[in-house]
Amino acid sequence: MKSTRVCSLLALLFASAVSAESYVIGVENLPFAPHYSIDQQGRYQGFARELFDRFASHSGVQLSYLPLPASRLLAALLEGEVDFKYPDSGNWAQAQKADKALHYSQAVVAYVDGVLVAPKHQGHAIEQLKRLGMVSGWTPWGYQQGIEAGQIQLTYSDDLRTLIRQTLKQDTDGAYFNVVVATHYLDNIRARPGALVFDPKLPHTRGNFHLSTLRHRQLLQRFDRFLLECQEEVDALKDKYRVEANLDSEYMGVEQWKLDFLKRQKAKARLE
């Protein structure tokens, strides 16, 4: 409760001290729920939208969101078309950022990119992964050696929907994507929970999404303070949207009802 009171007090202080500050966050114009997506009216929504809206309220600033193609977003930041970019990471597009003094926030949310396979193929050796599906523009970290050696053939899709469909039809042996986002799509949009599962034994990448800016370092520092002082509020949002659902367990990304079911099945098997 203490951090919640501190968070509320900071909101009052910032609201009284700051006025008429307005900034634009450049965001990705693609479906990436539960992290973020764009609705039919072109409005940014999801975990990231609610998080930044709460920061704006606490800090007394005005934030607006400009959805852009992911390939255009960094250029928009560097050219001053937007004030901030989300998501971003110091590990991304390093060649394009080489001579730029970009600043990054503390970690906003953790993520895992990896391969989802049919349940019967979970735990198989990487040598059995012959055809890997992925969305255009993504880099399959951990699989470059097999790709260069001709052991893994890449199949590109325009979006997650096509990627998942190809893997369900067994046109590919696995789908490389953000694990929480792909699982959310299967559970809530495709209505095929458990049809594909994350394979933690295959190469996968852990990282964090950050907010970045070229010119507004002070506001970025205020955002970092918000993440720290309002940690309980931020954690509650993460739980609400399940953006970090079971990232440290074998059931990464699995909805809670299915997680409970799988645990019961495992407990039952031990008793037999």
Domain extents in the chain: 2-102+214-241, 111-205+251-264
From the list 150, 77, 142, 85, the residue with the least C-alpha distance to 115 is 142
The reply to whether 111-205+251-264 shares the fold of 2-102+214-241 is yes
CATH 3.40.50.970 fits 2-102+214-241, yes or no: no
Give the pLDDT band of residue 194 (cuts 50, 70, 90): confident
Please provide residue 163's backbone torsions phi and psi, each rounded to the nearest 5 degrees.
-60, -50
Distance, in Å, from the CA atom of 27 to the CA atom of 52, rounded to the nearest integer, reads: 12
Cα distance between residue 242 and residue 256, in whole Å: 9
Average pLDDT over residues 18-45: 91
C-beta of residue 238 within 8 angstroms of C-beta of residue 47: yes
pLDDT band (50, 70, 90) for residue 89? very high
CATH superfamily to which 111-205+251-264 belongs: Periplasmic binding protein-like II (3.40.190.10)
Cα-flanking dihedrals φ and ψ of residue 122, to 5°?
Answer: -65, 135
Query: What's the predicted TM-score (pTM) here?
Result: 0.84
Whether pLDDT at 257 is above 80:
no
